[in-house]
Amino acid sequence: MDLFNNFDALQTVQQLEKLAKKPYNLAGPDALSPERIASYRTSVCGFDFLYSTQRVNQEVMQALQQLADEAQLVAQFKAMKSGTVMNKIIGYASEERQVLHTACRDLFTDTPLASKATDEARNQLTRLKKFLAELDNGSICNAKGEPFTTIVQVGIGGSDLGPRALYLALKRYCQKGRKACFIANVDPDDAAAVLSELDLSKTLINVVSKSGTTLETLTNEKLVRSALTAAGLDPARHIVAVTGAGSPMDDPEKYLASFYMYDYIGGRYSATSMVGGVTLAFALGYENFLELLRGANAVDQAGEQEDITKNLPLLMALLGIWNRNFLGYNTVAVLPYSQALLRFPAHLQQCDMESNGKQVTRFGKPVQWKTGPIVWGEPGTNGQHAFYQLLHQGSEIVPAEFIGFRTSQYQQDLAIHGTTSQQKVLANMLAQSLALALGRADENPNASFPGNRPSSLLIADQLTPYSMGGLLALYENKIAFQGFCWNINSFDQEGVQLGKVLANRILSELTEKEEGKSLPSDAPELALLKAAGLEKL
């Protein structure tokens, strides 16, 4: 049987449609018995995943396993990891690429699945290790012979969101005297605000662009170069680059050091390549970056298990498909009860919505089923004081994915009123999951909670480089499994092109206007500029 199959051609889909007519009622009497809570639980790679608060029963779980088998989701995942060209639309012009971000972390075995890509990752890691050692031993330093203390990553989209989310998650593990900052937006205030707080003489700039052509990044590189020059510093002594081999930025003469990523690593899946590696290893240390890769690799391996209770990313993907395609829920909230995961939902928004926000199949035909949901989230408990009202009583049902850790990162905590802050944060997480599921009847309709709203809990001991790597890979692989099941190409992003083309057109029209050229009077973008009072921009 072919690996690619339309979702609505899968027999199990019909079975699940029937089961979805009477899904498990989480608010029913004894719906959350201790037996149910104990049995809808699995442990993989240091994560405990609790899903008794999803609207599933054993029949649904069996059907989801059957769906995974019938759609050959694990075979597709292994094909991806082995270097099959999965980034394609059959019969149409498309990227036609392998999808090998997993090879960047398949380092801990003598027999990696895609050995050429893993060798390339190893080479880059060796170069990075040497570069870091030279920074440590002072053979690379500023013009005064002082060490660099700060790295600023200049990049956008996949060259920003993942590395930034990981850095913030792991800031606690920064090496003494080292830190990282990020500039992404072409809004000049982004660069100005970041640069204004730095001692540029002790700052490395890491310009990251796979294509080497991204407007925002090239503009910000120029801004930063001029800031260095204005401070009397030599940019060539301060700027490193991470780019695709052969890109316009692949010009080692211009940079203090150059690192590479390859076309088989998609931007939003690139955090474990040099795109994240240079900044993270500078700030956190090389060994911590390796730990991150080790954690990701463990989850990648779990992704090869056929049994969905042992394959956590697959289980998360299937529960998401149950909620999206069979119960009809349109969005997913990712709610980390960990302040360090502040930007993780933003990273997932890109990873998930750019991957699975698709409308044609891998055969180039319009999809006849729902694809990726809207993904959003904020750390709890802050979110509780903001948007949880809608989660509990709003007219939209939002499946929630809670993430928590038993131990805090800094372990600076106090028992106040008999409980520590860590106990408080975790008690709140559990309470929210229960409240969503069980609801509460009240005579006053305004104070009554309907309940029967699904969620799951993902819990690990502590947010460390290893568990962060695992968490990243859990979601990356969940997203890939869902795309395989929906028969869409999760690895391209044609949908971001049109806006870029139109922005460039507006910019060139502004230049032409400046040069006194006459412009078409009926162009909507010119009418819009006028209406917005931006004609004189």
Token representation of residue 114: 């895609």
Contacts for 164 with CB less than 8 Å, ≥ 6 apart: 153, 182, 184, 343, 347
Q: Compute the least distance from the CB of residue 58 to ligand G6Q, in Å.
A: 38
Task: Tell me whether residue 374 or residue 496 sits nearer to ligand G6Q (CB atom).
Answer: 496
Catalytic (active site) residue 494: no
Q: Compute the least distance from the CB of residue 186 to ligand G6Q, in Å.
A: 12
Task: Tell me whether residue 300 or residue 492 sits nearer to ligand G6Q (CB atom).
Answer: 492
Query: Where along the sequence are the contacts to ligand G6Q (CB under 6 A)?
Result: 155-159, 209-211, 214, 217, 266-268, 354, 493
Q: Compute the least distance from the CB of residue 380 to ligand G6Q, in Å.
A: 27
Task: Tell me whether residue 55 or residue 105 sits nearer to ligand G6Q (CB atom).
Answer: 105
Q: Compute the least distance from the CB of residue 239 to ligand G6Q, in Å.
A: 15
Task: Tell me whether residue 218 or residue 438 sits nearer to ligand G6Q (CB atom).
Answer: 218
Catalytic residue among 130, 222, 500, 530: 500
Catalytic residue among 70, 354, 401, 476: 354
Catalytic (active site) residue 310: no
Write the DSSP string, 42-106.
Answer: EEETTEEEE-TTSS--HHHHHHHHHHHHHTTHHHHHHHHHHT---B--TTS----B---GGGGG-
Q: Compute the least distance from the CB of residue 276 to ligand G6Q, in Å.
A: 12
Catalytic (active site) residue 385: yes
Cα–Cα dist 102/374, whole Å: 25
Q: Exposed, middle or buried by CB within 10 Å (0-12, 13-18, 19+), for 144? A: exposed
Cα–Cα dist 162/153, whole Å: 12
Q: Exposed, middle or buried by CB within 10 Å (0-12, 13-18, 19+), for 7? A: buried
Catalytic residue among 385, 417, 517, 536: 385
Task: Tell me whether residue 278 or residue 457 sits nearer to ligand G6Q (CB atom).
Answer: 278
H helical segments located in 176-256: 188-196, 215-230
Task: Tell me whether residue 103 or residue 156 sits nearer to ligand G6Q (CB atom).
Answer: 156
Token representation of residue 385: 């004081």
Q: Compute the least distance from the CB of residue 195 to ligand G6Q, in Å.
A: 20
E-strand ranges in 226-280 read 239-244, 257-261
Cα–Cα dist 308/58, whole Å: 13
Q: Is 150 helix (H, G, I), strand (E, B) or coil?
A: strand
Q: Is 259 helix (H, G, I), strand (E, B) or coil?
A: strand
Active centre residues (catalytic)? 354, 385, 500
